Amino acid sequence: MSADLADLLPGFASHWIDTKAGRIFARAGGSGPPLMLLHGYAQTNVMWHKVAPALARRFSLVIADLTGYGWSDAPAADRDHAPYTKRAMAAAMVAVMEKLGHARFALAGHDRGGRVAYRLALDHPGRLTKLATLDIVPTWHMWHDLDARLAYRIWHWTFLALPAPGPESVIGRDAVAFWDWKTAPGTKAKDLSAFDPRALAHYHAFFSDPVRIHATCEDYRAGRTTDLKFDEADRASGRKIDCPMLAIWGSSGIPSETKGPLDTWREWAKDVRGFAIDCGHYLPEENPEATAKALLDFFGHAP
Respond yes or no: is residue 78 known to be catalytic: no
Question: What DSSP state is assigned to residue 278?
Answer: S
The number of residues in the chain equals 303
User: Which letter, b or e, does each residue of 250-276 get, where b requires 16 or more Cβ atoms within 10 Å of its Cβ?
Assistant: bebbbbbbbeebbebbbebbeebebeb
Strand pairing report for 245-250 and 128-134: parallel
Cα 71 to the center of its chain, rounded Å: 15
Indicate the SS3 state at residue 266: coil
Q: Which of 58, 158, 153, 142 is nearest to 108 (CA)?
A: 58
The string of DSSP codes covering 98-123 is HHTT-SSEEEEEETHHHHHHHHHHHH
| Angle (nearest 5°) at CA 61 between 55 and 67 | 125
Q: 168: how many CB neighbours lie within 10 A of its CB? A: 19
Respond yes or no: is residue 111 known to be catalytic: yes
Cα 270 to the center of its chain, rounded Å: 22
Q: Which of 65, 111, 227, 231 is catalytic?
A: 111
Active site residues: 111, 281
